[in-house]
Amino acid sequence: MKFNENASLDPSRSSSGGGSGGGRIAVGGVGGLILILVALFFGIDPTGILGQSGDTGNTGQNTLQNCTSVKATETNPECRFVVYENSLNNYWAAALQDYHSPKQFTMFNGQIQTGCGTATSAVGPFYCPADESIYLDESFFTTLQQQFGAASTPAVEAYVLAHEYGHHIQNQIGVLDRVQQGGTGAGSPAVRSELQADCFAGVWFANASKDPNGPIAEVSKQDILEARSAAEAIGDDKIQQNTSGRVDRESWTHGSSAQREKWLLAGYTSGDPNKCDTWSARDLG
């Protein structure tokens, strides 16, 4: 993935360094990793599963506040996330009528208070519709690489953030609340929501470099291969097979490896968010 070195950035909705390393929460501890596998991994928290709600907390130095140009990525690698965020906002502002960006993208350490409750690294990246914000623990990509075998590259970082933006789009177009219908399984509302977010991520990849003044200059075939590999690595079936030695389709919440890869590619090959209607699709893959 190549960046446009002459592009400026707006870090006003980005923050990093928040949270604290101490304490435990209701879903937390080391055992909270299981929650990643069944509930929030690359997901959303529309029902307050994180615990008691509270005001968004963010302490510590904001290391993204100086990411005002793409060149800042040379000295602060975390500025890459502001690049992705700005590009995502640019695309969706052009593609979706009356679009408004997430109120905040926060990278945190340890744990943090959100509009959906207290979050720790155990829950993985997620979108909170209560405060229309995206949260990402800074250790997540190490976990993704070491425990799930996905590469830790800019393309994978971009895929993760683009997926969470997909949930924000769902919230705006009024389909996110369908997840609250409940249920699990290969054709459940939860799976359809996650696959649509994957598809929206693919759509963004297809369009990210089309703006000559945007912060992303090129998305290569290798970038797409890396994003596909990440999608495949966190399919419900693969995670279940690796953790329990068996696959239970009826408990799926995010979709199989094949489904996630299929819908990411559907978005990328079409470049059209209208091709991401997983809600009416009979065959999810």
The predicted-structure confidence for 36-64, as pLDDT tens digits, reads as follows 333 344 565 444 434 433 333 443 457 79
- Does the pLDDT at position 150 exceed 90? no
C-beta separation of 159 from 201 below 8 A: yes
Please check whether residue 281 lies inside any domain of the structure.
no
Please check whether residue 208 lies inside any domain of the structure.
yes
- Does the pLDDT at position 231 exceed 60? yes
**Span 101-121, average pLDDT:** 90
Please check whether residue 162 lies inside any domain of the structure.
yes
Please check whether residue 283 lies inside any domain of the structure.
no
C-alpha to C-alpha distance for 271 and 280, rounded to whole angstroms: 19
Q: What percent of the chain has pLDDT over 70?
A: 84
pLDDT bucket at 138, cuts 50 / 70 / 90: confident
Please check whether residue 282 lies inside any domain of the structure.
no
Q: Which domain holds residue 57?
A: 2-275
Please check whether residue 204 lies inside any domain of the structure.
yes
Please check whether residue 285 lies inside any domain of the structure.
no
Over residues 80-92, the pLDDT tens digits come to: 999 999 999 999 9
pLDDT: which is higher, 60 or 195 = 195
**Span 202-221, average pLDDT:** 97
**Span 119-123, average pLDDT:** 82
Residue 109, pLDDT score: 86
Query: How many domains are there within the chain?
Result: 1
> Is the model's pTM score more than 0.85?
yes
Please check whether residue 85 lies inside any domain of the structure.
yes
C-beta separation of 83 from 215 below 8 A: yes
Residue 18, pLDDT score: 57
- Does the pLDDT at position 197 exceed 70? yes
